Structure formats: structure tokens, C-alpha cells
Chains A and B, each alone.
Chain A
Amino acid sequence: MRNVTLKREWVLGWLLLLPSMVLLFAFTHIPAVTTFLNSFYSTPRGRRAAKFIGAENYERMLGDPVFWQVLWNNLWFALGTIPVSIALALVMALWVNDRLAGRGFVRMAYFTPTVLPMIAVANIWLFFYTPGFGLFDQITGTLFGWPATNYLGSPETALNAVIVVTVWKEAGFFMIFYLAALQSIPQSLKEAAQIEGANRWTIFWRITFPLLMPTTLFVSVNAVINSFRLVDHIFILTDGGPNNASALLLFHIYEVAFQHWETAYAATLTVALLLILCLLAIGQFFFVDRKVHYK
């Protein structure tokens, strides 16, 4: 009797788990494992089935100059976007946390880029960057008399132009987290520090900033992941060009997989990407987490 009820509960439990398990396995776990396996096989073409080739794909990757270039680009992209967007988010949050006229409007304005779809954002910025009559050229042209510049079309500036768009897009999103964290810091802590003779600068560095560390860690993990994940705007802005100058790792994977149809090699690149992300996340949690005070 008891066995039967236990068994029924067990079945019910699995049935309840089933929908999310099917989704997770179909779209996350099975593809991940298949990707890993595929990276050791050749790309199947026509009648020629995939055959096991060992680490050949990995050898090819390490010898591929384009791989190293997109990895290098990605490093620059991360270094350019992460610190700037986090710093900007913090400054904006501190500003809109103060009493100022039209605070609600300013907060909304900062958050707007996050709400807009990346593709739409990229299209707007495409106009800003347009040589000759784009916003930037018009401003620099009238103010300093600079000649028309093709920001997105020249290898020196293409990646930086993409970085600017990403920072603009991300800072508002991170600001929301900082703003929430700032509002959870009791006012009396600042007052106590004030009475002890601390000025605004000291209060920020000795009180506010340390208490924001959990948020900073969270935001920076997100920023690192985003720097490898956010590639939508590249399709619109530069399409990875010129000469791969603004191609990032994930963008390159897309190109290899769905434009050149070298799926096995793309699987290898994906494994490399996952490995990098894992290492970064583990590193952040192990090295930064120790210095964070959680309430």
C-alpha cells in the first residue's frame, strides 16, 4: 500500500519536471554535448559522412590567423566595454540617486537603450556614423572642420565604433542594479560618516563603494559574458569587417558555421569560447568574491 503511494508520488514528481527537462535537454544539454563531440569529427559533406579525426580541428584552430585575430579583437572589445560601462553605470546611478529636478525622467532616459532592440539601436548608430552627413561627422565638421571619416569602414576605428555602441547600450542596464543597491544603503551610514568628519569623496570610497561590491561583482560577471555574447549589432554596423577588424569570436563562429558551413570547425571554436567563459567566471568568483562583503 505504502509502496504504491510512494511510486505514484515519484511518477508525479517526474511528470512535473518533464516539461522543463525536455526544454533544457533539447536546447541546452544535448546540443552542448553534441557540439563537444562534433569538434572531434570532420564536417559531413553530401554523401561523405563525418569521420573521427581526433584533435585535427583543434590543431587547425591554433594555426588559424583569423581565430587569433577575432580572439584579440574580443579581448580589446572586453577591455574597452567592461570597465567603461561599469564606471559609467556607477556614475549615472550616483547622479540619479541624488535629489535632482526631473530625476524620474533622467532615470528613464538612461534606461531607454536597454529597452530598445539591439538591431534597432545599431541602425540608429549606423546613421550617426555615416561618413559625410552622419551626426558625428556633422559635429566634428562644423566645430573643428575635420574631413569626413568612415568610422565603420576603416580597420583602425571599426572596432572602437562598435565598442562605443555597446557601452551606450549596456551602461543604462547596469545602472539599474547600482541604483537598487545604492537605495538599499541606509542613509544613517552616510550621516554617521559625515559626523565623523568624512567628506563626500571619503564616504564614497570607504563606505558606499565597498558596500556596492556585491553589485559590482554581479555586474562585472554579466559584462564579461556580454562581451562574448553581444554580437547582434555587428551584423548591422560592420558585418565583421573591414578585413575581420571588428569580428568577435561568436560572430566568427556564426560565419564559419552558417556562411561557410564548416560545422565541425565551428563546433571546435564554440568549445574554445565556452572554455574561455568558464575560466573567466571561475576566476572572477574565486579572486573577487573574497574581497566582497555580503550583508
Chain B
Amino acid sequence: MVDAMLASTGKPIRLEAVTRRWDETVAVDALTVDMAAGSFTALLGPSGCGKSTTLRMVAGLESVSEGRILIDDEDVTTRSPSKRDLSMVFQSYALFPHLSVAENIIFGLKVRRVSRSERDERLQKVADLLGLSQLLERKPGQLSGGQQQRVALGRAIIAEKPICLMDEPLSNLDAKLRHEMRLEIRSLQQQLGFTMIYVTHDQVEAITMADQVVLLNSGRLEQAASPRDLYQKPASPFAARFIGTPPMNLIPASALNKTSGASSLLIGVRPEAMHLQDGGPVSASVRAVEYLGADLLADCEIDGAPFQVRLPARRTVVPGDRIELGFEADALHVFDADTGRRRDDLISEFGALTRS
């Protein structure tokens, strides 16, 4: 479907201890990440974690206080945005309101004095690809949010830049459209083969679209891993609770098992990893139940520690019940609350303890 003309080959990006400071505040703190050529990397984190700042530093719209940014092994830290050979989609789309859709899309080609015939040819390809052919003469103000989004995408891909940056591009769309665009952006990226950095605060977006998720928390790297690894082996309590809905249960080890003296350890189990098991190792009292259709979400309590479990809806559980729960040994996560790191070495020990 896509011509060779629109295909581009991605370039790898490497951030080396990149830091951004404003006076006293550190927005991004010594961030080191590798992004492979042609890969899709999601920068994920709560608002104010420095993900947009990181993206803007890669784009060259924000200066770097310390560290280096390398694109294709070339140091571009001090290069201007136009010399970095990348494109960007802004959260607000940043379409030029006085220009038509066609003029918006070919703006960059015109600036770089690409010949008229080539401009028209590429415009037609991009318009076909994004379904914009009927809208080329309109002004952005006459388009719906989803159409504006497509125009912004068109402007980003027409020049076949090896790198594309996106700053929360779907946050202004409704849920249905967001789902469609998610698939579309992902397939566009795979067809055209550029390297993508995608900023989002929505973990579902990050997990469904990305090859690599870079999870940031107050300017620091929390974990950089594939979505599967991030879900299955979160590196820290923050990562454990940020990924997955509802978030992972984290309980002080002392609450779960009296025999353990190490009070600074946190035991984590995902709500969906637990199941009802008579005589199971965990015994909890139900405080509230949410009916979700396919599932039940039960708020429980174990020795005063709150705890959520996802149960099949066919079992009726009412507040006040006492239930006994079990889980597989590999569903267990152990974190050191002091260092905030994962302790895989203790999993078997705790697994044995909860089983006894």
C-alpha cells in the first residue's frame, strides 16, 4: 500500500545522562536511554515527570543542561531543530490556522524548496494514506479534532524524516477515536519505518503501541523495558503501581506474614493474578465490591492493609465476606521499600512462606 517513496529508514537515538535544570528545579535528571532504529519508544509518566521536556530536548526546542543527545551516533546536543532531520506532532497539533490543509502539510517541503511536481505527488500520497483527499482545501478551523490530528500526522510524515516525535497526540480526542488512532499511528510507524518517540501519560497507550516503554518519575528513569517486561517484572514499586489497572497491590511483608522480620520489604501481587482458593495462603475480609460486567473488583483488607482482587463475576461476593485467596508463585513481586528496587532473590523465599 505504501510506496517506496514514502518509506524512510529510522535512525537510532541515544540519550546520555541528559539533564535539564531551571534554577533549582531539576526537570530531567541524568536520563540515559537507547532507542533502536525504527523502534517505537513511549515516554510514560505522570504529569510533571519530565517526559515532554525530554521530547523537546530531543527535538531541539529545549536546551540541554548536561549530557549528550546522539542521533545516528552524531552528537546533536547543540544543533537547531531544523538540522536534526526529524518531525514532530504537537499536543495542540500546532496547525497554521491561516493555511489550508494542503498548505499545512507541504509547509516543510515548501520551506526547503522542493519542486512543485514532487510536492504535489507526495501530498497526494499522504492525503490518500490518511484519508484527507476531500479536505485539502479546507482551513484547520473547519475540521473536527480527529481530522486535525490527521493533518498534523500528514505534515509529520510527508518529508519522510527518519525520526518522528509525538507529544501526547491523542489526548484531545474522544475514547473511540483514540483507539482508532492508536492502531493507525502504530501501523503507520511500522509501514514507514521511522524511529518514534511518543510521549503519553496513558499507560494503555504506551503498552499497546510501544516496543519500548521508558517510565519516568520526577525526572528520573524508573524503568526502560518492553511492555511485557514492564508488566511482568516491574523494577520498582512505582512502576508496579503505574502499569496495570487496577494497580498492583503492595503490602508490607509484615502484614502478609508474621514470621518475616524484614519490615521494609513490600510484597506485590496484581489483582488479576489472584483467585479464590479454599484453604489458600491469603485470608482477607471483603469491604466493598465493584461489579464490572465480566469481573468483580473486590476491595479487601488483610491485617489493616487494603488490597484489591479481580474475581470472575459468576461468584457472588458481598461486603463482609471472608474469602481465601491463592496465587501462582511467579505472580509474586518483592520490593525493597528503602531502596525502591526489585528483589528477585527473595521471591522464592516468600513464595515458600505464603505457601506454608
In the assembled complex, the Cα of A295 lies from the Cα of B139 at a distance in Å of 10
Please report whether the interface of chain B is mostly helix, strand, loop or mixed according to DSSP. loop
CB-CB under 8 A from B238, the residues of chain A are none
In the assembled complex, the Cα of A202 lies from the Cα of B94 at a distance in Å of 17
B111 is an interface residue with CB less than 8 A from chain A? yes
In the complex, how many residues of chain A place their beta carbon closer than 8 angstroms to a beta carbon of chain B?
A: 20
CB-CB under 8 A from B94, the residues of chain A are 186, 188-189, 191-192
CB-CB under 8 A from B96, the residues of chain A are 189, 192-193, 206-207
Shortest B108–chain A CB gap in Å is 3
Among candidates B60, B61, B82, residue contacting A196 with C-beta atoms closer than 8 Å? B82
Q: What residue of chain A has the Cβ atom nearest to residue B158's Cβ? A: A196
CB-CB under 8 A from A293, the residues of chain B are 97-98, 139
A241 is an interface residue with CB less than 8 A from chain B? no
B81 is an interface residue with CB less than 8 A from chain A? yes
Question: Is there an interface contact between B81 and A210, defined as CB atoms closer than 8 Å?
Answer: no
A23 is an interface residue with CB less than 8 A from chain B? no
A194 is an interface residue with CB less than 8 A from chain B? yes
Shortest B64–chain A CB gap in Å is 16
In the complex, how many residues of chain B place their beta carbon closer than 8 angstroms to a beta carbon of chain A?
A: 24
Q: A186-B92, A188-B92, A192-B90 are in contact. Are A198 and B111 (CB under 8 A)?
A: yes
Query: For chain A residues 108-151, which have a beta carbon within 8 Å of chain B?
Result: none
CB-CB under 8 A from A192, the residues of chain B are 88, 90, 94, 96, 155
Shortest B162–chain A CB gap in Å is 14
Q: A186-B92, A188-B92, A295-B141 are in contact. Are A195 and B98 (CB under 8 A)?
A: no
Shortest B11–chain A CB gap in Å is 16
A167 is an interface residue with CB less than 8 A from chain B? no
Query: For chain B residues 74-115, which have a beta carbon within 8 Å of chain A?
Result: 80-82, 86-88, 90-92, 94, 96-98, 107-108, 111-112
B interface, CB within 8 angstroms of A: 59-61, 80-82, 86-88, 90-92, 94, 96-98, 107-108, 111-112, 139, 141, 155, 159
A interface, CB within 8 angstroms of B: 186, 188-189, 191-199, 202, 206-207, 210-211, 213, 293, 295
> Would you mind naming 9 contact pairs between A and B with Cβ atoms under 8 Å apart?
A189-B94, A191-B61, A192-B88, A192-B94, A196-B82, A196-B108, A196-B159, A206-B96, A211-B97
